[in-house]
Amino acid sequence: MSKLTMMQTVEGMIELTAQGRPSTLIGIGPMSPNLLQATFELARDCDFPPMFIASRNQVDLDELGGGYVNGWDQFRFAADIKAAAEAVGYEGDYYLCRDHGGPWQRDGERNAHLPEDEAMALARMSYKADLEAGFDLLMIDPTKDPYQIGKVIPLDVVLSRTVDLIQYCEDERRALGLPEIGYEVGTEETNGGLTSTEKYQEFIERLKVELCARGLPMPTFIVGQTGTLTRLTEQVGHYDFDNAVSLAKMAASYGVGLKEHNCDYLDDITMLIHAPAGVTASNVAPQFGTEETRALLRLAELEGKLAEKGLVAEPSRLRDVLLERAILTERWRKWMVGEDTKLTVEQIFADPEKALVILDIAGHYTFNEEPVKAEVAKNAANLAACHIDAQRYAVDCIKRSIRQFVEGYNLEGLGARLREVLGA
């Protein structure tokens, strides 16, 4: 059975919606090997095609700074995902997706205020590796510009950079003899606001003209803002159903899927309303990392209780090391609000209550650090001696969180429905 391309899958999603059988795909931020296992176990048992959405900070070439998730570059990422699918017997489709590819999308590049030509050159280098590693979908996102902080980047600039990068990727894809891939584009950084239907259509129309003039494919997804916004470990946005319906219909009229970002921590009602809204896909990332952090903290607490009972002689320092390393990453700043974004590391360490907030937000950024891995291993060994499988527990905790989206987004059985509607 041949794999459905990302474009075929979105075509099938749009057709299923037109038939009154809608679902919403989930783009999963690949925060750890445990998350891969949890996803593939659910995909195997529930029959849906997962999308793994990796940002450049998470997965990138070693020469560009590498990724903080499991030390993955594009090739190790692809190999480990394939191995994870095989390990649990998942034989369905899955998709490797570049989330927020493009210039200045690595924190270091943006903070260094690299000139545009240099930032674009590094983006192209990263995209080429994506292609060579077999990615199915590339997000072309030129909206994180250090020279336009606090401003909406002019649409002309977004369009120009978007088309130039798609042209580069298509030229490289053809030169490498690779099959067609999908593209995801958007008009601006997702910030919890709403994308108007008029602006959405203007972007699609102008993009279509430019792409057709160059003989380039239309995108597979266009990102639209429907009100979702993640801060701390909460969904603080206000979902606008009518706006989502309008954007989804507009996108579908061009054969394109509406994609949302920032869909972590949605309540059940908001999840369930996605399918009738016609939303093709939405991204969820930090939520699953936070669930794994919380699982590790419960395992550390359990280990402490067993030590009090004399069943563990030398408990790990998992909680303390996770706490320290999470604060030191400073990656929590993007999820904070108000003046808390400006707190110093020293201020955090001096405020135990604030430190725990940071741990909840940023623990997953540390999973690949050697001190953390050593304490995770020690904790697991101590619990194994007490007949407790720590890794299994962590995977199951992540699965519970993903399962909410599987149910809410009507994903169960989607693999079969897609093949039925596409005649594949």
Q: Please give the backbone phi and psi of residue 342, each rounded to the nearest 5 degrees, phi first.
A: -100, 0
Q: Where are the alpha helices (DSSP H) in 265-365?
A: 268-272, 274-277, 286-308, 318-329, 345-349, 352-362
Percent of the chain whose predicted confidence (pLDDT) is above 90: 93
- List, in order of start, the domains of the chain with CATH numbers: 6-284+409-422 (3.20.20.70), 289-397 (no CATH)
Would you give the end-to-end CA distance of the chain in angstroms? 8
Residue 274 exposure: Cα atoms within 13 Å on the Cβ side: 31
| Distance of alpha carbon 231 from alpha carbon 333, whole angstroms | 10
Query: What distances in angstroms separate CA 278 from CA 124, 155, 270, 404, one per listed residue?
Result: 33, 26, 13, 18
Partners of 138 in the β-ladder: 98, 183
Which of 217, 312, 294 has the alpha carbon at shortest distance from 255?
217
Q: What is the pLDDT of residues 360-416, one digit of tens each?
A: 999 999 999 999 999 999 999 999 999 999 999 999 999 999 999 999 999 999 999
- Say whether 247 sits in a helix, a strand or coil: helix
Which of 20, 133, 38 has the alpha carbon at shortest distance from 421?
20
Q: What is the DSSP letter of 344?
A: -
For 39-48, 127-136, 175-184, 196-205, which range has the lowest pLDDT when averaged over its residues? 196-205
Q: What is the pLDDT of residues 148-193, one digit of tens each?
A: 877 778 889 999 999 999 999 999 999 999 999 999 998 665 555 6
Within 10 angstroms of residue 276's Cβ, the number of other Cβ atoms is: 16
For 44-48, 82-86, 340-344, 371-375, which range has the lowest pLDDT when averaged over its residues? 340-344
Q: Please give the backbone phi and psi of residue 119, each rounded to the nearest 5 degrees, phi first.
A: -65, -40
What value does the mean pLDDT take over residues 299-309? Answer: 98
Q: Please give the backbone phi and psi of residue 116, each rounded to the nearest 5 degrees, phi first.
A: -60, -45
Q: What is the pLDDT of residues 198-251, one digit of tens each?
A: 989 999 999 999 999 999 999 999 999 999 999 999 999 999 999 999 999 999
What value does the mean pLDDT take over residues 336-365? Answer: 95
Checking if the pLDDT of 329 tops 60, the result is yes
| Distance of alpha carbon 122 from alpha carbon 105, whole angstroms | 10
Which of 50, 39, 44 has the alpha carbon at shortest distance from 89?
44
CB 358 within 8 A of CB 348: yes
| Distance of alpha carbon 180 from alpha carbon 160, whole angstroms | 22
CA angle 157, 180, 29 (to 5 degrees): 70
**To which residue do tokens 């067609």 refer?**
180
Within 10 angstroms of residue 58's Cβ, the number of other Cβ atoms is: 21
Tell how far CA 190 is from the center of its chain: 13
Exposure string of 131-141, with b = 16+ CB inside 10 Å and e = fewer, is bebbbbbbbbb
